[in-house]
Chain A
Amino acid sequence: MSLAIDRDVAAKRFRELFDVEFAFVCRALRRLGVLEADIGDVAQELFVLVHKNIAELDPKRSVRPWLYGFAVRLASNYRRLARHRENAPISSLAPAANLDADRAARDLVLRALHELDFDRRTVLVMHDLEGFASPEIAAIVHVPVNTVYSRLRLARQDFREAIARLETA
């Protein structure tokens, strides 16, 4: 009986988490390099993993670092797939026409991020876009904190150069 109750609690927790965090997960995957056309598939995979591991989630702690752990792992796997190693279709990465200023800025950021090394990109996104603290990032990506600092410095440098290239292109 207790198992059934536990499952109901887990299911309820999963549903609440899905409802609240779906948009966050999609945004994270997008920033980590998953192309728009594949967001649904990867998000699905992520939430299946979340459901399988929901019992591990400590309700007293923030769920987002935990979700980000899945997002980083899946985005990394996604990147390793041969079909994604090759250049993505130009239509996916080319600047979209007729965008308003905010969307144009976001589009530029995503295209610049796409040019970064994945490990650096991950740290930049987590620190400068998501606002995670460096020790949190270190725990999520399983590297020493100093490595996080190092990657972040390099990532910002790469990012700045990528922006400059894209703006002059």
Chain B
Amino acid sequence: MSEHPIDDLPSDLTELLEREASAHPEDTVLKETVLHRVEMSLALATPMSVAGMHSAGSAGRVVGARIAAVIGVGAFAAGVTVGTLAANRTAAPAPAGPVVVAASQPTTTAVSQMPSIATPRFDPLPTAPSASVAIEIGQPRDKPNGDLVRERERLDFARSALDHDDPTEAIAALDYHARKWPHGYLAEEREVIWIQALAKSARWAEAQKRAAAFRQTYPTSVFAGTVDAAVGPANGPSFVTDSGTR
């Protein structure tokens, strides 16, 4: 065998390939969309990893943020691309695997070692915070309009607050998100956390109404099981009341 068993590329092909190899412009919209979808996929499979991803993207933030919903990952491990399901919100079937609310998800960090929740430093909004929780969550858009990094920070905070048994603080952060980015990249996740926060606050009627609106808006959401786990199945027995007894 010679030292250079491959001949040089003919010049005409070289020119063509060099043109192809020249820099392609980066599609930033596609990039943000794919990152969002990857995060959704990972949130379903490994909640702590995503919390870490968020904290990695914003140094100094609370690291204790965790996704409360964990989907059974059997299908994922078997090679089914859950992420694709997450991406195709309106076309994909609902996940078949069971959904478990991991309210007491074991962690590697003792609660006493967890950093306390910092006071949120939200930018002022043009309108005052609403006194009541809005139930209309709007229709999802093909092209979300938001700020993925900042949205993620708000939802991180909301999750963290929920983790620290402070649903009121979580709802405040979610309300901020809803007013700032009503059709943001993470609108679907916001609604899921909101429903969980309402359920945790024992505001059952509001949780049920928001869950109904969520199911209508996102009929094939991969978070459907998570919502069911928080407020009960859509067609199940009505076992929640305004008085808070389940």
A residues lining the B interface (CB < 8 Å): 1-4, 7-8, 10-12, 14-15, 18, 22-23, 26-27, 31, 39-41, 43-45, 47-48, 51-52, 101-102, 105-106, 108-110, 127-130, 134, 146, 149, 152-153, 156, 159-160, 163
B residues lining the A interface (CB < 8 Å): 1, 5-6, 9-10, 13, 15-17, 19-22, 24, 26-27, 30-31, 33-35, 37-38, 41-42, 45, 48-50, 52-57, 63, 81-84, 87, 107-109, 113
A48 and B42 form a contact (CB under 8 A): yes
A44 and B13 form a contact (CB under 8 A): no
Closest to A103 in B: B19
Contacts of A12 in B (CB 8 A): 52, 56
Closest to A131 in B: B21
B13 and A160 form a contact (CB under 8 A): yes
- Contact A15 to B57, CB < 8 A, known contacts A1-B108, A44-B37: yes
Closest to A22 in B: B31
Q: How far is the CA of A7 from the CA of B51 in the complex (A)?
A: 9
Q: How far is the CA of A168 from the CA of B195 in the complex (A)?
A: 61
Chain B contact residues: over half helix, strand or loop, or mixed?
Answer: helix
A18 and B22 form a contact (CB under 8 A): no
- Contact A129 to B20, CB < 8 A, known contacts A22-B31, A47-B38: yes
Closest to A16 in B: B56
- Contact A44 to B10, CB < 8 A, known contacts A11-B53, A22-B34, A110-B20: no
Closest to B55 in A: A8
Closest to A30 in B: B24
Of A48, A149, A152, the contact of B83 (CB 8 Å cutoff): A48
Closest 4 CB pairs of A and B: A11-B52, A12-B56, A105-B19, A11-B53
